Amino acid sequence: MKLLLTHVPLARRQYYGARALAQLHELAEVTLHEAEAPLDPRGLIAAAQDVDLIIADRATPVPAEVFAGLPKLKAALRSAIDIRNIDVAAASQASVLVTHAEAGFVQSVVELTVGLLVDLSRGMSRAATAYHQGRKPEIKVGRQLAGSTVGIIGYGRISRELAPVLAALGMTVLVSDPYAQVDDRRFVKLPFEELLGRADYVICLAIANEETENLMDAAAFARMKPDAFFVNMSRGNLVDEKALFRVLTENRIAGAAMDVGRALDQMPSPELARLENVIATPHIGGLTPPASESQAFDTVRQVEALVKGEVPPGAANLKDWTRRV
């Protein structure tokens, strides 16, 4: 069986890892993408002409034309939980299987979120930058997390791990999610609008879909307290960035932190990242060896199942898959 791994060399080292790659080589004839730039659809078609399987990274789009141009392709595997860069409908029409990895990044994202909350509250990166530049840092009174109120939008896997951590730090935890039941008595479930008005920190962890597009718009930011902080750890398309820019530059909220945005590769937008009251990290929430390896080994297990003629875990469109290996 032949397989193409689309990751550029740096992404392969950071997001896939040598151990998972070694196991792939034991299972299939593996072709690696060695160029520094990600494959575009035309390049992907050229590189995958003779392969049975593609393992796609997040920087490689897999639109309908790819499935039309690769009649031998049996499955497109995504080494992450997010499969929005793959046209699943087109894959189903072409009878190609699409799979996703599990959320092996949860603990890493939780830790980064806590770090961003502390940084927002105490101005660590701002002071460190001043010292690096040879300037005397401005000394400001910080905020203690214990005794503050945090509002978490969305109650999925990350939120369910993050909420107990924040409660253990002494924070009052509010949750808003119309589709989730919150059984833990330490947390208070509230409607979205009420949570925004009560929280000192608003953390966006809702699922990115059509319903949540621009969930945090001008009206939502207007409901937040003037001394509240906004944190986005989900996806950039949940936020109306023009509205966020306005409230930050007009000091209508205290500041923001983000690991995601609408820039290339789901990174924070430079226009927001350069603001003095913003802390931005370049989409590194899951960039730790345990998180990356967890999702890489998910794809290894999927390839192993496909080699055996079995249904792999993480199948997104199983009922439409007829191009069997």
Per residue in 233-292, pLDDT tens?
Answer: 999 999 999 999 999 999 999 999 999 999 988 899 999 999 999 999 999 998 898 988
Residues paired with 62 in a beta bridge: 86
Each domain of the chain, given as residue ranges in start order, spans 2-104+288-320, 106-280
Nearest CA among 223, 192, 265 for reference residue 8: 265
Mean pLDDT, rounded, of the chain: 96
In whole angstroms, give the CA distance from residue 7 to residue 31. 11
The pLDDT score that the predictor gives to residue 52 is 97
The pLDDT score that the predictor gives to residue 260 is 97
CA distances from 302 to 4, 114, 287, 314 (A): 14, 33, 22, 8
In whole angstroms, give the CA distance from residue 78 to residue 141. 45
Instruction: Record the pTM.
Output: 0.86
Pick among 3.20.20.140, 3.90.980.10, 3.40.50.720, 3.40.640.10: CATH of 106-280: 3.40.50.720
Same fold yes or no, 2-104+288-320 and 106-280:
yes
- Coil/strand/helix, residue 205: coil
Per residue in 78-107, pLDDT tens?
Answer: 998 889 899 999 999 999 999 999 988 999
In this structure, what token pair is assigned to residue 216? 């945090």
What class is the 2-104+288-320 domain? alpha beta
In whole angstroms, give the CA distance from residue 11 to residue 33. 10
Residue-wise DSSP of 272-312:
HHTSTTEEE--S-TT-SHHHHHHHHHHHHHHHHHHHTTPPP
Taking phi over 0 as left and psi of -120 to 50 as alpha, with beta for the rest, 180 belongs to beta
Nearest CA among 54, 50, 52 for reference residue 4: 54
Half-sphere exposure of 116 (CA within 13 A, CB side): 31
Which spans in the chain are helix H?
9-15, 18-27, 41-47, 64-69, 88-93, 106-122, 124-132, 157-168, 192-198, 218-223, 241-249, 270-273, 289-307
